[in-house]
Amino acid sequence: MSRVPSYPDIESREEVLAPPGRLRSVPGVIRRNPLLAVGAAMCIAIFLVAVLAPLIATYPEDAGSATHPLQTLEPPSALHYFGTDQVGRDVFSRVVFGARISPLIAVLVLAISVLIGVPLGIAAGYFGGAVDEVISRVTDVFLAFPALLLALAFAAVMEPSITNTVIAISITWWPWYTRIVRGQAASVTGRPFVESAKATGVPHRTILLRHILPNSITPIIVQVSLDVGGVILTASALSFLGLGAQDPTPDWGLMVSQGQAYFTTQWWLVTFPGAAIFLTAVAFNLLGDGLRDVLDPRRVLTTR
């Protein structure tokens, strides 16, 4: 580099673009993205309630098969914060122990669905052609059945249990993710930076993992966070029909289903587990929304 000509206007152009004042530290993320912090805090709270359930619950044995025939359907009081149910169990204790079940079902179902759905969708979108045809047609077959019916069918041939609930719902859940990711991956594949990566000798595997996947994942994060509530309710529908978690299990969805009969007179049976489902859904929603913002460098810059 002997004689390097200088371009005076280059320096000035660089000044126009503000230096990237990106904050990657934890306090920085909270300040820029308070909703993410709230969502994360709520998720941690749910997790802590699940772990510490025996300490928090006022009547831990009520989460099991205990019954108290003399104190059924009592309204909320200092003794029973959320009242008691139709067999006299403390609703508060059951809701607390439910944090060990419903969110776990949701997380497992969504994790399995993402693990199956996303790789298939990415492969279909990137490779196209025959690979796409096969994956898309299989997906279509699964999507052609109403999800709940399909889950019912699978649940019916298996023993009613939480594990089998998770399997049955996952089978109906993954095709949606495949479809979302496929479209996204196909459009990312057509963008010039993929061609550019190929032109620098990057192998398919690396392109898929490092370029296509990160650029296609945002809609899935949002969808997963929206689906938490949906999975809990689907699981409760299975329980309601006798195919999922069974009675003494303090599953929130099951509690809502069973409480329906008493809703007009004993509102607390449905309201508290329902509120727990709602808060869980909101927590994951905020978390998902916040993650999307953090993962997109453009959005981080434009929020301020």
C-beta of 11 vs 159, nearer to another protein: 11
List Cα–Cα distances, 69 to 72, 85, 166, 244, in angstroms: 6, 10, 33, 26
Q: Which is nearer to another protein, 47 or 193 (CB)?
A: 193
Query: Closer CB to another protein, residue 61 or residue 195?
Result: 195
Q: CA-CA distance, 165 to 147, in Å (whole number)?
A: 13
Q: Nearest to residue 138, comparing CAs of 123, 151, 153, 154?
A: 123
Measured from the CB of residue 200, what is the shortest distance to another protein in angstroms?
4
As a whole number of angstroms, the distance between CA 238 and CA 208 comes to: 37
Task: Give the DSSP letter string of 69-125.
Answer: GGGTTPPS-SSSTT-B-TTS-BHHHHHHHHTTTHHHHHHHHHHHHHHHHHHHHHHHH
Looking at the Cβ atoms of 127 and 267, the one nearer to another protein is 127
Rounded least distance, CB 290 to another protein, Å: 17
**In the complex with another protein, which residue's Cβ is closer, 27 or 192?**
192
- Contacts with another protein, residue ranges (CB under 8 A): 1, 4-7, 9-10, 13-14, 17, 20, 191-193, 195-203, 206, 210-211, 214-215, 295-298, 301
Which residues are registered as beta bridge partners of 84? 90
| Minimum CB–partner distance for residue 255 and another protein (Å) | 43
Identify whether the C-beta of residue 259 lies closer than 8 Å to the C-beta of residue 270.
yes
Which DSSP category does 7 fall into?
-
Nearest distance from C-beta of residue 127 to another protein, angstroms: 10
- Can you tell me the distance from the alpha carbon of 128 to that of 181, in angstroms, rounded to the nearest whole number? 13
Q: Which residue has the tokens 């299990």?
A: 249
- Of 61 and 296, the one with the shorter C-beta distance to another protein is 296
Which of residues 9 and 159 has its CB atom nearest to another protein in the complex? 9
CB of 133 to another protein, least distance (A): 15
Q: How far is the CB of 183 from another protein (least distance, A)?
A: 18
Give one DSSP letter per residue of 289-301, joined into a string: HHHHHHH-HHHHH
Closest distance of CB 211 from another protein, Å: 5
Q: How far apart are CA 293 and CA 50, in angstroms?
A: 28
Would you say 127 or 142 has its CB closer to another protein?
Answer: 127
| Least distance (Å) between residue 12 CB and another protein | 11
Torsion sign over Cα 104, 106, 111, 116: positive
Interatomic CA distance for residues 295 and 214, integer angstroms: 9
